[in-house]
Structure 1
Amino acid sequence: MDVAFLGGPLPQRGIGVVAPFDFALDRELWRWVPDDVSLHLTRTPFVPVEVSLDLARLVSEHETLREAVRALTAVAPGVVAYACTSGSFVGGLAGERAMTAAMRQAGDLPALTTSGALLEALRELGARRIAVVTPYTRSVTDALEGYLREAGIEVCGRSYLGLTREIWRVSYRDVVDMARRVVADAPEALFLSCTNLPTYDVIPQLEAELRMPVLSANQVTLWAALRSLGKRAVGPYQALLDPVARRGPASLAAEAPAPLTSVESSAPLTAAETAAPLPDALLPEPLPDEEV
């Protein structure tokens, strides 16, 4: 059949993504991207070092980033993003700005990093007091807290796994369990750190349960990159992406008279928990048991 009348594929805008060599969640990144945007990924060279502050420094060396960005310019992206949280906060605010400048100069196009995008997202939400969940060791988690403190963000709760390899294998259940442990001090938002940590499906679940914005490393990276192109990230009921979700559950109370059930069981929540329920239509489908 002659399909010439279709006129070819849809025009695409491109986002160049520089990821660490061990990044394993390409598919997760794509889930935030609308159909008229393409991701073009490249990876930093392999180094035989476990996840640590040393690795964060190695994968974020300026010449490494310049070479990656120069390779990406072959496909003419509209923006380049360095998708690594620890690699972009390990040098503090000045280090993150220098990395962004090096990438911008190498490709002569807009550039951003995950840690820079996180600060942009927190400003967007007006959140200055947050809790953090990380898969890192204590020293790397300390460095994240230091970066946030330097930016005027208070960390009022944190939880970390102490992993040095294969972070992409962490289950959704582990992420949810850590998140529940760090919000006792009523933060204004929760951040799930590390681009290699699976988070896409747990964000709406946690926002519904915890009644606060939930950000993740991959989410803020794609949100910022797409916004620089004049595009919006896609995703189910996430405060950063959805103006309705950003107003909070209370704004939807009139639309949802029926009580919610808890994330893990069908038992009704308490009266306090159901004071401002979300409409069932905006809640994601339950996750499989092995992925919650």
Structure 2
Amino acid sequence: MDISFLGGPRPQRGVGVVAPFDFALDRELWRWVPDEVSLHLTRTPFVPVEVSLDLARLVSEHETLSEGVRTLTAISPEVVAYACTSGSFVGGVAGERAMCEAMTQAGAVPSVTTSGALLEALTELGVRRVALVTPYTVSVTRALEEYVAEAGAVVTGCAYMGLTRHIWKVPYRDVADMARRAVRPGADALFISCTNLPTYDVIPQLEAELRIPVLSANQVTMWAALRRVGTRAVGSYQALIDPAARIYPTTRGGPVPPVLPDVPDVPEQEQQ
């Protein structure tokens, strides 16, 4: 059988991802990625620490990041992303920039972090006032508020879950409930923090309900990384990715975004 007409596999563009050891949402990251791009993930070494500021510092040490980037150099990614929100805001704005520099030096490619991508997304959408949702404890949540404020944005409201483990098991309905608690009049956008918190399907539903752009940690990470290789992330009815979804009647006038059907919950797994 002659299969020469297939022409072989299409050329792939690589995006390297360094994630914390407990990152569990590889498949969610792929949902923002177009067909011509491959994700190459590596993880930081395991440490026996629950989600906290201490863990954020441990998984964002420059030597740890550099080692992660070096493991990806053999497959020549065009950009490297550090997929952790708390690990990239724990050192403030200057700390986030230093992390990018360390990763770029280790791999000789452009680098982004989740928290840096958040600030980039706020600028892209012209957002000055943002509401926050986090799965974190109060201390980690306060550190995020300080990071956003340091960058010049105003935090209009915040809701947090107080979790220290198993964040990837949180169902969509809990994320949506927290979003409704966090968003108050005057917010220009909502940011849902933590790359281990599932958000892909809930974003368009919340945007249709709240009438403001909804950003999430994994979304902004993939959007910023793909932007650096000259391609677009995939995400219908997500304001950051789909310009047609950026018009809301309460703020800009024009057509109302379609009201989407309820999204299913992420299946809950037995707590360990």
Relative to the length of structure 1, the TM-score reads: 0.88
| Distance of 1:104 and 1:43 partners within structure 2 | 17
Q: Is the 8 A contact 1:132 1:158 kept in 2?
A: yes
Q: In the alignment, which residue of structure 2 is the partner of 1:93? A: 93
Q: Deviations along 1:192-222, whole A, 9 cap, x unmatched?
A: 0000000000000000000000000000000
Q: In the alignment, which residue of structure 1 is the partner of 2:80? A: 80
| Distance of 1:286 and 1:161 partners within structure 2 | 22
| Distance of 2:207 and 2:173 partners within structure 1 | 15
Q: In the alignment, which residue of structure 1 is the partner of 2:210? A: 210
Residue identity in the other structure for 2:88:
S
Q: In the alignment, which residue of structure 1 is the partner of 2:64? A: 64
Does residue 172 in structure 1 map to residue 166 in structure 2?
Answer: no
Determine helix, strand or coil for the equivalent of 1:27.
Answer: helix
Q: Is the 8 A contact 1:44 1:64 kept in 2?
A: yes
Q: Deviations along 1:209-259, whole A, 9 cap, x unmatched?
A: 000000000000000000101100011201000111113356653xxxxxx
| TM-fit CA distance, 1:287 | 1.8
Runs (4+) of structure 1 moved beyond 2 Å? Answer: 247-253, 277-280, 288-291
Q: In the alignment, which residue of structure 2 is the partner of 1:225? A: 225
| TM-fit CA distance, 1:139 | 0.1
Q: In the alignment, which residue of structure 1 is the partner of 2:248? A: 248
Q: Deviations along 1:98-139, whole A, 9 cap, x unmatched?
A: 100000000001001000000000000000110000000000
Q: In the alignment, which residue of structure 2 is the partner of 1:108? A: 108
Q: In the alignment, which residue of structure 2 is the partner of 1:134? A: 134
| Distance of 1:289 and 1:36 partners within structure 2 | 29
Q: What is the total number of aligned residue pairs between the two structures?
A: 266
Q: In the alignment, which residue of structure 2 is the partner of 1:37? A: 37
| TM-fit CA distance, 1:290 | 6.5
Q: Is the 8 A contact 1:59 1:87 kept in 2?
A: yes
Q: Is the 8 A contact 2:69 2:103 kept in 1?
A: yes
Gaps of 5+ in 1: 254-276
| TM-fit CA distance, 1:4 | 2.4
Determine helix, strand or coil for the equivalent of 1:98.
Answer: helix
| Distance of 2:54 and 2:237 partners within structure 1 | 37
Superposed CA RMSD in Å reads 1.5
| Distance of 1:290 and 1:16 partners within structure 2 | 26
Residue identity in the other structure for 1:49:
V
Q: Is the 8 A contact 1:252 1:279 kept in 2?
A: no
Q: Deviations along 1:115-166, whole A, 9 cap, x unmatched?
A: 0000000000000110000000000000000001110011110000000001
Q: In the alignment, which residue of structure 1 is the partner of 2:270? A: none
Residue identity in the other structure for 1:149:
A
Does residue 287 in structure 1 map to residue 263 in structure 2?
Answer: yes
Residue identity in the other structure for 1:112:
V
| Distance of 1:159 and 1:21 partners within structure 2 | 26
Q: Within 5 Å, which residues of 2 pair with 1:272-283?
A: 277-279=256-258, 283=260
| TM-fit CA distance, 1:32 | 0.3
Q: Deviations along 1:163-189, whole A, 9 cap, x unmatched?
A: 000100001000000000111233000
Determine helix, strand or coil for the equivalent of 1:219.
Answer: helix
Determine helix, strand or coil for the equivalent of 2:72.
Answer: helix
Structure number with bigger Rg = 1
| Distance of 1:286 and 1:148 partners within structure 2 | 31
Residue identity in the other structure for 2:151:
A
Q: Is the 8 A contact 1:252 1:278 kept in 2?
A: no
